[in-house]
């Protein structure tokens, strides 16, 4: 197989804002995406992630701030002149063209011989594991195969940056999980910068080197999946990314008081009224008589490898996840269970 790695692909966004009329959809975004990163923009609908992607790709005009790719200012540069290609959720394949012709479509605008085009199409189809599908048409392919054709059509142009706008959104859950793994492997092989837009937290956590959590046109936190999950910077990130118990507390230099319990833990300089975050898988459930803090079990949900427990502790709704097969208390609806906070399971956040 030929070498597919492409150098470069560093993206710099500086004071990037966007208005639609009087509505500000992006509010002074500053962000650096390093060459070769798999970087995700994560957030709910309307948070500005797709607008950010469109500004990088050239589908929206840059009016406030700047977008630079490998140091070059992209203001006024049309999409086809940028070292960028985009894979959309709809795939936008030509139904009357074969797979090979769909993949080769962009090469017609380059100084590329027929022999070179055929070789590059073959390499792109090999990358996405569609060798032998050259003569098929889109209606003869599954949804996952159509998505791979759309990827190959972008990769054949050898961009420095590949933008992916929720490309798995139209697929069923099982196929999405399969293609998440394949996309990650493909990224490692081609070595170019991937910028991935999604509202799916699992996708962002599974696939990204780093991610940005967005809300109302601003970036709330940037970091690796583990950093953002384990060390959320604020209550928005803690609540948005994964399941979280977000509990009111009072902090001082030596720890926190939460639900009437004193826990010695790092407070990160926070004092006074605050919140603590405890992920459900890090909440410890024990026999009720063995703990000073008890809760009532409201619901028990079997979820394969885990059991999801909904409980109420001192009028506070909480969630816990317990590995099936592990030793522990009986989990019976309307029963009592003991609750313990482990010091390293808490993340203290300001109000």
pLDDT: which is higher, 73 or 167: 73
**Confidence bin at 2 (pLDDT 50/70/90):** very low
> Does 238 fall in a domain?
no
Given a contact cutoff of 8 angstroms between Cβ atoms, the answer to whether 11 and 69 are in contact is yes
- Domain identity same for 152 and 96: yes
> Does 53 fall in a domain?
yes
Q: Of 150-154, 336-340, 344-348, give the lowest mean pLDDT range.
A: 150-154
C-alpha span between 28 and 23 (Å, rounded): 14
C-alpha span between 168 and 245 (Å, rounded): 29
| pLDDT(3) > 60 | no
Quote the pTM value.
0.86
> Does 3 fall in a domain?
no
pLDDT: which is higher, 5 or 186: 186
Number of domains in the chain: 2
Q: Which domain holds residue 89?
A: 11-230
Q: Which of 209, 230, 251 is the last residue of a domain?
A: 230
- Domain identity same for 169 and 317: no
**Confidence bin at 202 (pLDDT 50/70/90):** confident
The position carrying tokens 């590329």 is: 112
- The length of the chain is 351
The half-sphere exposure of 243 on its side-chain side, counting CA atoms within 13 A, is 13
- Domain identity same for 277 and 197: no
Predicted confidence (pLDDT) per residue in 65-119, tens digit = 999 999 999 999 999 899 999 888 777 889 999 999 989 888 877 777 888 888 8
Q: Token digits for 67?
A: 């977008």
- Domain identity same for 129 and 252: no
Given a contact cutoff of 8 angstroms between Cβ atoms, the answer to whether 5 and 191 are in contact is yes
Given a contact cutoff of 8 angstroms between Cβ atoms, the answer to whether 75 and 66 are in contact is yes
Predicted confidence (pLDDT) per residue in 280-327, tens digit = 999 999 999 988 899 999 999 998 899 999 999 999 999 999 999 888
Neighbours of 179 (CB within 10 A): 21
- Domain identity same for 164 and 256: no
- Domain identity same for 176 and 279: no
C-alpha span between 107 and 85 (Å, rounded): 13
Q: What b/e string do you get for 52-69 counting C-beta neighbours within 10 Å, with b at 16 or more?
A: bbbbbbbebebeebebeb
- Domain identity same for 204 and 73: yes
DSSP-assigned letter for residue 180: H
Order of strands, sheet of 161-165, starting from the edge strand that comes earlier in the sequence = 84-88, 161-165, 193-198, 38-42, 210-215, 218-223
Torsion, CA 93, CA 94, CA 95, CA 96, rounded to 10: -150
> Does 6 fall in a domain?
no
């Amino acid at each position: 197989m030929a070498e597919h790695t492409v150098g470069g692909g560093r993206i710099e966004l500086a004071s990037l804002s966007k208005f639609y009329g009087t509505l500000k959809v992006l509010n002074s975004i500053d962000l650096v995406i390093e060459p070769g990163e798999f970087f995700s923009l994560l957030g709910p609908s309307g948070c500005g992630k797709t607008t950010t992607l469109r500004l990088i790709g050239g589908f929206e005009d840059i009016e406030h701030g700047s977008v630079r790719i490998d140091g070059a200012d992209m203001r006024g540069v049309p999409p086809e002149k940028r070292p960028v290609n985009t894979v959309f959720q709809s795939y936008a394949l030509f139904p009357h063209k074969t797979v090979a012709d769909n993949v080769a479509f962009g090469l017609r605008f380059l100084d590329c011989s027929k022999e070179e085009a055929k070789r590059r199409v073959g390499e792109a189809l090999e990358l996405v594991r569609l060798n032998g599908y050259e003569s098929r048409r889109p209606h003869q392919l599954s949804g996952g195969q159509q998505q791979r054709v759309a990827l190959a059509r972008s990769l054949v142009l050898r961009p420095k940056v590949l933008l992916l706008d929720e490309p798995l959104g139209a697929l069923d859950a099982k196929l999405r999980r399969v293609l998440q793994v394949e996309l990650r492997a493909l990224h490692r092989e081609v070595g170019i910068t991937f910028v991935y837009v999604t509202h799916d937290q699992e996708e962002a956590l599974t696939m990204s080197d780093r991610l940005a959590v967005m809300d109302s046109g601003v970036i709330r936190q940037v970091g690796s999946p583990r950093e953002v999950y384990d060390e959320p910077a604020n209550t928005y990130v803690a609540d948005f990314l994964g399941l979280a118990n977000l509990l009111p507390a009072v902090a001082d230099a030596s720890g926190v008081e939460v639900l009437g319990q004193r826990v010695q833990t790092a407070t990160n300089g926070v004092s006074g009224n605050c919140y603590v975050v405890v992920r459900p898988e890090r909440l410890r459930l024990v026999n009720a008589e063995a703990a000073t803090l008890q809760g009532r079990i409201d619901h028990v949900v079997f979820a394969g490898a885990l059991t999801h427990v909904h409980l109420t502790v001192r009028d506070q709704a909480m969630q816990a996840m317990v590995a099936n097969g592990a030793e522990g208390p009986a989990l019976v609806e309307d029963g009592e269970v003991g609750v313990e906070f482990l010091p390293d399971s808490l993340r203290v956040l300001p109000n």
